[in-house]
Amino acid sequence: MVADDDGAFAPTTEDAPSSSGFLDDGKNTIGSQLASRLREAIISGELQAGSKINLDKARKTFNVSLSPLREGLARLISDGLVEFEDNRGYRVSPISLANLEEITTLREEFEIFALRESMRVGDVEWEGNVMRALHRLNRTERDAARPETLERWEELHREFHLTLISGCGKPILLHFCRLLLNLNDRYRRVFLTRTSGDRNVNQEHSEIAQGAVARDLDYACDMLRQHIHRTGTNLRNHLATKGIL
């Protein structure tokens, strides 16, 4: 009746803070931890898109009180992953073809803008960060058979794209881009368990990164745009094929 009889959430052994007590990622409060767990649950598809979130059930599932639960959900609204209506509660943001297409379009628009700015004003440290993020991503295997590698890859992939544009010196823009990546990742996690065969994604990332640190504005932007566009097309096909919606 308490925590884990509802298989949907399956917490991964992290109830006790464990011995390596120091260096907590800033996830101090229950509300913060919940936000993280819920975010992962939504992006990974564990929580179905469009479904209603029953506060009482969630409260029992996570074994917490209402206050931190609402707190956590409220943060996911900022991320665009959860919607809310007065007296009607929370629900997981629905997915749709139109939504995916908007995300792709906006990513093309904003990320390219941010990349261009990064190349214009980014410093050497930014360049270093990009190369490091690229290396770590490319050296990480993505094995559909082992979910933990998928998660790890997703994390690094996300990190790469964010690092790429992190030199732009525009926090609000970065916030928007992070948000769009969140939304986009959900589609990928749900529909793509592996990279589609006809793409060498590693190479695409390398081309973008190398163009970026070489400050070859047009080349890098073009590569990034194509990269985002291809991803969008792939996801659209999967969405259509699997007949969701």
Residue span 170-209 as binding mask against a second copy, x where in contact by CB under 8 A, dash where not: xxxx-xx---x--x--------------------------
Task: Return the amino acid letter for 193.
Answer: T
Q: Which does 145 bind (CB under 5 to 8 A by kind): DNA, a second copy, none?
A: none
Radius of gyration of the CA atoms of the chain, in A: 19
Options 37, 81, 82, 90; binder of DNA; rule CB under 7 A: 90
Q: Write phi, then psi, for 190 (nearest 5 degrees).
A: -80, -40
Long-range pairs for 82-85: beta carbons < 8 A, 24 or more residues apart: 82/38, 82/42, 82/53
d(CA 146, CA 14): 20
Work out whether 67 is an interface residue with DNA (CB under 7 A): yes
Q: Which does 173 bind (CB under 5 to 8 A by kind): DNA, a second copy, none?
A: a second copy
Find the largest Cα–Cα distance for the chain: 58
Work out whether 18 is an interface residue with DNA (CB under 7 A): no
d(CA 80, CA 28): 23
The answer to whether the beta carbons of residues 142 and 195 sit under 8 Å apart is yes
Query: Hey, which residues between 47 and 106 contact a second copy (CB under 8 A)?
Result: 67, 70-71, 74-75, 77-78, 80, 86-87, 99, 102-103, 105-106
Options 48, 51, 54, 233; binder of DNA; rule CB under 7 A: 54
In the three-class reduction of DSSP (H, G, I as helix; E, B as strand; rest coil), residue 164 is classed as: helix
CB nearer to DNA: give 67 or 193.
67
Options 48, 51, 65, 203; binder of DNA; rule CB under 7 A: 65
Q: Which does 114 bind (CB under 5 to 8 A by kind): DNA, a second copy, none?
A: none
Which residues 6+ apart lie within 8 Å of 193 measured at CB? 144, 150
Work out whether 30 is an interface residue with DNA (CB under 7 A): yes
Task: Return the amino acid letter for 19.
Answer: S
CB nearer to a second copy: give 94 or 147.
94
Residues that bind DNA (CB under 7 A): 28-31, 52-56, 64-68, 70-71, 86-90
